[in-house]
Structure 1
């Protein structure tokens, strides 16, 4: 739902009919007021002036579409009543001038205002402050309405731009992940090729060595197939692979040391017995921790960040919890995630990585204070 739709929903289903109802009430009120002013000096009521007044009031129903013509009709009705010896109060004329200033260009309404005020003053219908004040009120309401419309349009534009930036960020992150996984699979295929060649060379002389080598090749092939399944989801073209070595959890100590040197206190916790993980899982866990520490350093103002890796069963649990400030909802998960950083693109990247692995991600403030990133990454057969 965009901004305009949300505004209509807040205003309610009867908002579309409100202008018509308002115009009917306004026309009736102007007619009643003008009729009262017409006969308040003891003049006896007569059908003709009442009919002219009612027609002038009815013309106000068209004030939004034909403001100039409605103003002319109201002035003509006042002129007819004045010529017949009555003393019109000018209520329809005042309402018409207000409508004219509210709905038409400023130059047009000014061009109509001047002769109308001259006529009303000369015919002693009403004093200049009344029509001039009505015109000024209409001009103010027009300016206000244009301002509100500009704000709504700007909000809608910003919302579209934000959605486009999120989409661009997601596409870039997918491309980066695809390049990283491509490097992992390329390495695995190379290892398999070397292993097969080595096994072939010793197959006749050392069959046990060849068998062990082929077992390692089989394991590498299974992991590579899992990585390829994820790559095929992301690739949307040909991406040049980066040549730099990809980080893993073995590099985590160096990563944490760098943030400590930058002034961010980081505590590492390891639960369970570390095991060998598929390259894609290790890389994604590393990147999630790196992004979470970057957010904590830039935006949280934290005095302590705890990084926890929990090995166990078919999942690797990654948690990064800082004690700084945040704007997400407590225990929110992705629905109430705190979007630290411009546009929240860091969290977009985390979601892409976790979704690619078939895992789960939760981000947001926690009841005890601070901000938490928690990811559960499947390993083994589900990786």
Structure 2
């Protein structure tokens, strides 16, 4: 469709150029032959019309059209039809070549037009024209050629701007997709850490309550109260996480847990029936919030795995070592020594590995030589911490 519109507009332009050229040829041609000049006649009009035909294909074949237009115009000049010949078709075609072809081709077209003009002027009666007349023709040729080149450069500049805008839009879309994927991954890690830990604790407490329900109702009530407390904690944390996903609701903002909350986490695991000890070594200093949260989640995941897989009677030891330029956190147990019964890393350890790697840390997880399982991470700290 665009090609049809281009062809139609060029055809209309060719008709307009032909009408203008014939008008100039007839009106400004010599009325009487003088000094070898010929008066306008049918042959001259035919040559003028023939020179205008290639304008209809100026954008499709600009170079061939220029050559085809220059031949009749050169013949008009050589046959002595006078200086009144407008040469509009040649100018239009020279402009088209400069606009739609590269610099080398455009320079070749300018050189060709100038050469044919000089040849026609020297061979025909127009050799007697003054220097100012020839200079005017040269100026017109250069001006038309320069206008065509200017348009081409402007068009190329606009295309570059469009291409750059498209690239920026694609890059922005890619960054947006990456950010969304990272945010989904972060939310998935948070949900897993919260749900897996609290549900595991509630499951163990519910199992214990069921066993002592008939024999020790008071102990069963304590277990049920612990389940209720754990459930409320899980709901509160889940509301904080899910709240960021809703545009029409405000999340209940609160401080994220960190290594300072490990004593309460250890106490919760003890209430769930897991013998747990906390050991802190070194002098605690300022720890970045992200590293602090990652360390807490690592301990939470390690204790949850111990509670689920280490077996009855297992003991877990949480060790936090504050060293110059490093935070070392580990969770070790003396249970069956299998962090995952299937032998495949679960989503929890995968999420913890991503958290640790995000802050430049190193994670190691696997069976201990003397039995049991250990999860350990070392986080580098800046400014000597």
Q: TM-score range by the shorter chain?
A: 0.5 to 0.7
- Deviation sequence 1:11-35 (CA, Å, 0-9, x none): xxx9776533432332223212221
1:41 aligns with 2:29: yes
The SS at the match of 2:55 is helix
Q: 1:99 to 1:178 in 2, by over 3 A?
A: same
How far the C-alpha of 1:172 sits from its partner, in A, is 0.4
Runs of 4+ in 1 over 6 A off after TM superposition: 218-221
Report the equivalent of 1:146: 156
Other structure's SS at 1:65 match:
coil
Q: In structure 2, the residue corresponding to 1:123 is in which secondary structure?
A: helix
In the alignment, the residues of structure 1 paired with residue 29 and residue 235 of structure 2 have an alpha-carbon distance, to the nearest angstrom, of 98
Q: Is the alpha carbon distance of 1:98 and 1:160 closer, same or farther for their aligned partners in structure 2, counting shifts above 3 Å?
A: same
Structure 1 residues 207-266: Cα deviation after superposition (integer angstroms, max 9, x where no partner): 354256347648967x8xxxxxxxxxxxxxxxxxxxxxxxx9xxxxxxxxxxxxxxxxxx
What's the Cα RMSD here? 3.4
Match of 1:280 in 2: 238
Shift of the alpha carbon at 1:59? Answer: 1.0
Q: Does 1:164 align with 2:186?
A: no
**Which stretches in structure 2 are left out of the alignment for 5+ residues?**
32-38, 127-133, 254-385
Q: Secondary structure at the match of 2:215?
A: coil
Aligned to 2:71: 76
Is 2:29–2:81's contact at 8 Å kept on the other side of the alignment? no
Partner of 1:97: 94
CA distance in 2, matches of 1:213, 1:16: 81
TM-score by length of 1: 0.52
1:67 to 54, 62, 73: 62
| Matches for 1:112-151 after TM superposition, within 5 Å | 112-124=109-121, 127-151=137-161
Aligned residues: 230
Larger Rg: 2
- Structure 1 gaps, min length 5: 1-13, 224-247, 249-275, 293-314, 321-383
Q: Secondary structure at the match of 1:128?
A: helix
Question: How far apart, in 1, do the equivalents of 2:241 and 2:163 lie?
Answer: 42
Shift of 1:38: 1.7
Q: In structure 1, how many angstroms separate the alpha carbons of the residues matched to 2:41 and 2:222?
A: 116
The structure-2 alpha-carbon separation of the partners of 1:220 and 1:15, relative to structure 1 and needing over 3 Å to count, comes to farther
Q: 1:279 to 1:129 in 2, by over 3 A?
A: same
Compute the displacement of 1:117 (Å). 1.1
Greater relative contact order (CA < 8 Å, ≥ 6 in sequence)? 1
Give 1:58's aligned residue.
53
